[in-house]
Structure 1
Amino acid sequence: MHFLSANLRELSNDDRVALSRLIVELLDRWRVEGNDQVAMLGLPVDTAPRVLRRYHENTPLPNSPEINERIDHLLGIADALRTSNPCSATADVIWLHSVNHRFENRTPLEAMIRDGLGGLLAVRTHLDCAYDWHLSGSRY
């Protein structure tokens, strides 16, 4: 299933499990620490990082509007990074961990972690001009 175009709220349990696994594996690949994964996903602040292990297995992430919005942005960011650097398996990780003046001389990853949903949106609109165009309400 191509999750980028899916209505996340209406996925079957099996698809939500697969999506959850994809998201936590993506965050692992991006070298996001456990506490930061909890923050980036918008899970309750008292969530222990060890709880993330269950999302690698057969437990779906909570099906809430805010978490679904964060997942949607993470999928969009991953897709934009993939299409920006299709021949490099590591360019996405390098870019996410490189200081960028667009994010107040922080790394994009730090912006996503510290600024919450706003940080995810800022990184996504920076990477995906079509998404930014869509948000602006512009029409061709």
Structure 2
Amino acid sequence: MIESGKTYSKEEMTEISKAVMLYLDSWKLSNAEVISILGLDPNIRTRHLQFFRTGDKPLPQEGETMQRIDHIVGIADALRTTFPFSDKMRLLWLRKPHRRFRKNTPLAVIMEKGLNGLMKVRIEVDCAYGWKISEEMAKAQQASNS
């Protein structure tokens, strides 16, 4: 799990980068999709993705990039828990239309909505994260009513 606000060492970010790229590669994405999901500069050269994969260069440790990484890791962990024995089912879940996404695929939601899409998909697949968000929203509502 990625800790919000924590500054990671270069070694830690390198390991995080390799793991995130492994997750994204298991989703069978194009380089352009990987760049978009990570929220990287669209002009980044695709060879940089290989540097992230091999650990030659870590992903940028910026606010939104780290939020995206947190959601990617959360989605990957939840899919691994939901489908512990099947990589194919994890991929199918990401690419199958869902009624909660108005018959769009989770991957389409992520691509269209960026960071918000990652959060929506994570809430759908990771019930513990969904409960946490619901509790935080309820507390915020109570505080505003006080």
Aligned equivalent of 2:14: 17
Say if 1:73 and 1:120, in contact at 8 Å, map to a contact too.
yes
Q: Give the whole-Å Cα distance in 2 for the aligned partners of 1:33 and 1:8.
A: 30
- Counterpart AA for 1:18: E
Q: Which segments of 5 or more consecutive residues in structure 1 lack a partner in the other structure?
A: none
Q: Give the whole-Å Cα distance in 2 for the aligned partners of 1:103 and 1:29.
A: 22
- Among 79, 83, 86, the alignment partner of 2:84 is 86
Runs of 4 or more consecutive aligned structure 1 residues displaced over 3 Å after TM superposition: 5-9
Percent identity over the alignment?
A: 35
Q: Give the whole-Å Cα distance in 1 for the aligned partners of 2:34 and 2:132.
A: 27
Aligned equivalent of 2:143: none
- Aligned residues between the structures: 136
Aligned: 1:125 with 2:128: no
Larger Rg: 2
How much is the aligned-residue C-alpha RMSD, in angstroms? 1.7
What CA deviation, in whole Å up to 9, does each residue of 1:23-75 have, x standing for no partner?
Answer: 11211111011001101000012223232111012200000010000000000
TM-score normalised by L of structure 1: 0.89
- Among 48, 53, 60, the alignment partner of 2:50 is 53
Aligned: 1:34 with 2:34: no
Q: Which segments of 5 or more consecutive residues in structure 2 lack a partner in the other structure?
A: 140-146
TM-score normalised by L of structure 2: 0.85
- Counterpart AA for 2:23: L
